[in-house]
Structure 1
């Protein structure tokens, strides 16, 4: 029976709840804006990584390196798009 219990998913769910609680602490405590943004960004990226690895089963296939390469490529495109948008629209470059 123990081999059928999804301990990885349960631990991922608990970790997800802990990260959500940490993000909620930013709202409920008197934290400075810069510290709050840093905490929110870190918890958001950890939460996204946790979702990809645990709940979307990215590690369980034989070509998991390809899945992580595509995720990295997508993240790179998002960063380039956001920085480019900020350069053009906000910083007039």
Structure 2
């Protein structure tokens, strides 16, 4: 019977709720901007990874490695675009 219980998904859900509570705490604890942004960015990236692995079953197929490579490539392109835009528009380089 225990093999039928979705333990991994329930634990993922509980961990998602904890990460959401940590993000909400930034507002209610009136943190400084730097501390608040640090907490929000860290919890956002952890939660995105958790969603990808637990609920989207990224590593459970035979193409799991290709999926992770595509995710890393997408993150690289996104960061390159964001920092390239900041470099050109704000930092005037």
| TM-score interval (norm. to shorter) | over 0.9
Which residue pairs with 1:24 in the alignment?
Answer: 24
| Superposition CA RMSD, Å | 0.8
Alignment of 1:1-93 (within 5 A): 1-93=1-93
Shift of residue 3, structure 1, vs aligned partner: 1.2
Shift of residue 63, structure 1, vs aligned partner: 2.1
Q: Which runs of 5+ in 1 are unaligned?
A: none
Shift of residue 59, structure 1, vs aligned partner: 1.3
- Structure 1 runs (4+) greater than 2 angstroms displaced: none
Normalising by structure 1, report the TM-score: 0.96
User: How far, CA to CA, are the matches of 1:62 and 1:15 in structure 2?
Assistant: 26
Normalising by structure 2, report the TM-score: 0.96
Q: Which runs of 5+ in 2 are unaligned?
A: none
